[in-house]
A = this chain, B = another copy of it.
Amino acid sequence: MRAMQHFASDNYAGICPEAAAAFAAANAGHAPAYGEDDWTRRVSDRLRALFDTDCDVYFVFNGTAANSLALAALCQSYHSVVCHELAHVETDECGGPEFFSNGSKLLPARGGNGKLTPAAVLELISRRSDVHYPKPRVVTLTQSTEVGTVYQPYEVAAISACAREHGLRVHMDGARFANAVAALGVAPADITWRAGVDVLCFGGTKMGLPVGEAVVFFDRTLSEDFAYRCKQAGQLASKMRFLSAPWLGILEGEVWLKHARHANAMAQRLAAGVQQVPGAKLLFPVEANGVFCELPEHVLTGLRERGWRFYTFIGAGGARFMCGWDTLPDSVDALLADLRALSA
């Protein structure tokens, strides 16, 4: 019998074959530590090519660190960061951004479908201008969002323009950046630096890597001494090649996009099925790899009894089903079958 797949998180998945192969290939002989190796150099160049610009690239261990370090590089402790109220930095990093920045405050804004708007940003940053309240310094966007939606390039650009006009920098949490690029069918540059993003945290783990994210500075003046920041904060890998090499595996031949498209397609398949289930209701447009839906309590209980794992506290309530690079159509169909059976 095949082991069950889960929809709890795209990080329940393992390592994709292409990343695994690159990882194994990197394990040959000696290599200089701390990122002075060839693998890291090659991947960095590859990312610069991908983004079509001479950006600065750093590899760190996870998303909490990537986001927190990037924000700390943009902020002093008395600054504040405008984020969506459902943003991961606000809801799921246990105060990581506040810790790394030594106290920068997050200012949560509301917004439909998990997205910030220029108006919401503006409202927050113009509310106060006295020293008794932290000075707004950064806007952070999550692309794709925590509720499975995607910012259009013009939406990112509009928020960036508003930010820049008021002296704020723009950070993008791209834990699921691949899914957004796959969904939009645009060049990565078009929803990052060309749309005004200063720094992107490009998620690797959810794309099929074992560990690690890339912090990509499009404005290189912001990454001054960032290597020191990483080192001090326990985010400089000694055997860096094992963080960087797997990226090569998925960047070659657009494997990362292939996987992201697949995950998105599985989410569409699931969403289509959910819409046929009586009593089930999609909570957000399904644009990337997550499906959020309202389900009766007995259905939620029943799914759990049948062994399915998923979260209900993330985002705006409801049940969250995440699809990954490895989600099988059969798994989606099995979940749908159980959903239908329980809802009958």
Contacts and interface: CB of A to CB of B under 8 A. Distances in A.
B99 A102 contact: yes
Contacts of A34: 131
B31 A132 contact: no
Q: Is the interface of A mostly helix, strand, loop or mixed?
A: loop
Contacts of A9: 33, 238
B231 A94 contact: yes
A183 B194 CA distance: 58
Nearest to A91: B133
Q: Could you say how many copies of this chain the assembly holds?
A: 4
A211 interface: yes
> Which of under 10, 10 to 19, 20 to 34, or 35 or more describes the interface residues of A?
35 or more
Interface string A207-240: 0001100000000000001011111111111110
Contacts of A229: 76-78
Given A64-B231, A68-B234, 5 more contacts: A34-B131, A77-B102, A99-B102, A103-B232, A131-B230
Interface of A: 3-6, 8-9, 11-15, 20, 23-24, 26-34, 60-66, 68-69, 76-80, 91-96, 98-100, 102-105, 127-128, 131-135, 205-206, 210-211, 225, 227-239, 242-243, 309, 313
Nearest to A61: B61
A132 B94 contact: yes
A166 to B, nearest CB: 15
Centre residue among A8, A96, A229 by max chain B CB count within 10 A: A96
26 contacts: A3-B28, A5-B30, A12-B32, A13-B30, A14-B26, A14-B28, A32-B309, A61-B235, A62-B234, A62-B236, A64-B232, A64-B236, A65-B235, A69-B234, A79-B225, A94-B132, A94-B133, A94-B228, A95-B105, A95-B232, A96-B233, A102-B102, A131-B231, A131-B236, A132-B231, A205-B239
A96 B234 contact: yes
A234 B61 contact: yes
Nearest to A88: B132
Contacts of A26: 14
B15 A30 contact: no
A131 B227 contact: yes
Given A14-B239, A64-B236, A238-B11, A94 B131 contact: yes
Contact of A234 (B12, B91, B100, B238): B100
Nearest to A309: B32
A26 B15 CA distance: 10
